[in-house]
Amino acid sequence: MTIQANQEAVTIEAFINGQHVESLSQSAKENPTNPAEIVGYFPVTTKEQAVEAIEAAAQAFQTWKKTDIEERVTRMRRAIGKIRAAENEIVHLLSREHGKPLYDAHGEIYVSLMWMEFACNEAASALQAQVTEHEGGKTILAYDPIGVVAAISPWNYPIALSTIKIAPALLAGNTIVLKPSPYAPLAAAKVAEIIASEFPAGVINVIHGDADVGVELTTNPHVTKIAFTGGTETAKRIIRAASDTIKDMTLELGGNDAAIFLESFDVNDERAMRRIVVSNFLTTGQICMIAKRVYVHRSIYEAFVEKYIEAANRWIRIGDPFDPDTTVGPVNNLKQKDYVLGLVEDAKQRGAKVIPLGTILDQKVFDQGYYLQPTLVLGCDVHDPIVVEEQFGPTVPILPFDDEEQVVRLHNESIYGLTSSVWGNEENAISVARQLEAGTTMINTAAVQGLDVRFPFGGFKQSGIGREYGAEGIRTYTEQHVINVPKMLDLPYIPE
């Protein structure tokens, strides 16, 4: 990546076939998190340049697919070492463009590297062809690379949700064209280029822009797989666009993750109270798997709300991402801020009580950026928009429930099914968890605190198709290829 010498703004270019490429488009856009500051520039890639990137990836695939797993792992491990060495610089850039506090930006690198390391350790066995000798002959099940992967990532975890695709795709022998989100493209592009420096030209390409550029990735016949993380509505457009060329897809989409507190939950457990607050407001609530609606058994509801407010007021300190006291930064962009405000306003109009949470560390900073004071919403109906829609921001409704059957029904009514959490007596919680329609259910913790990259992650229903993480998250970048050597070469029922 080319970084301009001044510290004020960072300019990135597309990276195609091992080269930096200036945009031919005039519509360069700035990417401000804080309206008082332009963080950087990324020239929007033209359609012709997107085609060039895809063709470079297609060309590179012809050679890259023939490399052995040892070479791929060795190159990836070197890239991991370089990312580690550049961590502070990357984190600084990520905090600046995204608005997430420094500790949280470090956390994103931590999760990214944990996954990349796991993928390196696991790739050889996950991709090993399985040879079965049986009475009917011999069968080889091979995991072949798919080809050119289009990786389209969102703004909320731009590095983690890019590397979650880059590492397994490359380890499995594919080549890739990455398009980060225009709302946070700088740090993801930097990390992708660090990785690219360890791979042959054309194996990783990075292009920039929004839907106009993304559409080439979803329609170009050279692209054989789309790995997309983002909103459910965008995914529907992508599925339609890709239908003419029938592409393989992994879709990680929205969620409306519920946290369910059973009667057996101890409201005086301060660590658990802190965990649920963090699971609601980490990254200013902008995580797909954050707990977005909280259901509490009516018998403990009032005490729970009281303790929750105390815990939230202790943990939430809203401020500049570079202030070490800050736990909650601004919302990433104005569109998201307005959307969250709209949901809270709608809840108020419907008669809900909205309680502000936490401390604003510096009112002047707060007034300048896309800040929102986190809120707790009480007294809403189970079908209000703030409960059934994904808010993806710093507000959370807490609702009472009367019995397990009711709360399981409320959970499963959602069009989403990404993650959920159940809190209370472990055995009881697991029994409720087994009834929930969700890709991951965490017990007595939630959100990234309960994430385990060794196991598959993904959603039921409109939260997605396919899985990332785990051995599954590597094999998802392959086609299963069966080579069958039957003993009986001619079938007896086919006439001579």
Q: How far apart are CA 116 and CA 108, in angstroms?
A: 12
Spatial contact of 475 and 143, defined as CB atoms under 8 Å apart: yes
Query: 487 is written with which tokens?
Result: 């003993």
| Residue 440 identity (one-letter amino acid) | T
389 labelled catalytic: no
- Which residue in the set 40, 99, 107, 214 belongs to the binding site for ligand NAD (CB under 6 A)? 214
Q: Could you tell me the smallest distance in angstroms from the CB atom of residue 359 to ligand NAD?
A: 27
DSSP 26-90: S--EE--SSTT---EEEPPPPHHHHHHHHHHHHHHHHHHTTS-HHHHHHHHHHHHHHHHHTHHHH
From 140-148, 212-220, 268-276, 350-358, give the range in contact with ligand NAD by CB under 6 A.
212-220
Binding mask 94-133 for ligand NAD (x = CB under 6 A): ----------------------------------------
Q: Could you tell me the smallest distance in angstroms from the CB atom of residue 437 to ligand NAD?
A: 15
Binding mask 399-438 for ligand NAD (x = CB under 6 A): -------------------x--------------------
DSSP class of residue 350 equals T
Q: CB nearer to ligand NAD: give 242 or 376.
A: 242
Distances, alpha carbon 447 to alpha carbons 3, 147, 199, 248, in Å: 34, 33, 33, 28
Spatial contact of 223 and 247, defined as CB atoms under 8 Å apart: yes
Q: CB nearer to ligand NAD: give 34 or 153.
A: 153
Output the CA torsion sign for 17, 55, 219, 416: negative
- Which residue in the set 390, 438, 442, 474 belongs to the binding site for ligand NAD (CB under 6 A)? 390
Which of 173, 174, 153, 150 has the alpha carbon at shortest distance from 163? 153
Which of 292, 50, 256, 10 has the alpha carbon at shortest distance from 148? 50
Residues with Cβ within 8 Å of 427's Cβ and at least 6 positions away in sequence, in order, are none
Q: How many residues bind ligand NAD (CB under 6 A)?
A: 31
- Which residue in the set 165, 179, 190, 411 belongs to the binding site for ligand NAD (CB under 6 A)? 179
Task: Select which of 252, 337, 389, 390 is catalytic.
Answer: 252
Query: If binding is defined by CB under 6 A, does position 149 make contact with ligand NAD?
Result: no
Task: Select which of 97, 216, 247, 288 is catalytic.
Answer: 288
Query: If binding is defined by CB under 6 A, does position 44 make contact with ligand NAD?
Result: no
Query: If binding is defined by CB under 6 A, does position 152 make contact with ligand NAD?
Result: yes
Task: Tell me which residues in 294-333 interact with ligand NAD (CB under 6 A).
Answer: none
Q: How far apart are CA 334 and CA 370, in angstroms?
A: 6
Residues with Cβ within 8 Å of 260's Cβ and at least 6 positions away in sequence, in order, are 295, 401, 407, 411, 420, 421, 422, 423, 432
Strands ordered across the beta sheet of 478-486? 130-134, 137-145, 478-486
Q: How far apart are CA 390 and CA 310, in angstroms?
A: 25
Q: How far apart are CA 232 and CA 331, in angstroms?
A: 20
Spatial contact of 153 and 191, defined as CB atoms under 8 Å apart: no
Task: Select which of 108, 122, 165, 225 is catalytic.
Answer: 165
- Which residue in the set 107, 145, 154, 374 belongs to the binding site for ligand NAD (CB under 6 A)? 154
Which of 335, 397, 396, 344 has the alpha carbon at shortest distance from 370? 335
Q: Could you tell me the smallest distance in angstroms from the CB atom of residue 104 to ligand NAD?
A: 14
Q: CB nearer to ligand NAD: give 273 or 288.
A: 288
Q: CB nearer to ligand NAD: give 93 or 164.
A: 164
288 labelled catalytic: yes
From 11-19, 34-42, 176-184, 275-283, give the range in contact with ligand NAD by CB under 6 A.
176-184
Q: Could you tell me the smallest distance in angstroms from the CB atom of residue 237 to ligand NAD?
A: 4
Task: Tell me which residues in 236-275 interact with ligand NAD (CB under 6 A).
Answer: 237-238, 252-255
252 labelled catalytic: yes
**3-state secondary structure (DSSP) of residue 139:** strand
- Which residue in the set 175, 205, 234, 414 belongs to the binding site for ligand NAD (CB under 6 A)? 234
Q: CB nearer to ligand NAD: give 267 or 288.
A: 288
Residues that bind ligand NAD (CB under 6 A): 152-157, 161, 179, 181-182, 210-211, 214-215, 218, 229-231, 234, 237-238, 252-255, 288, 390, 392, 418, 459, 464
| Catalytic residue IDs | 165, 252, 288, 468
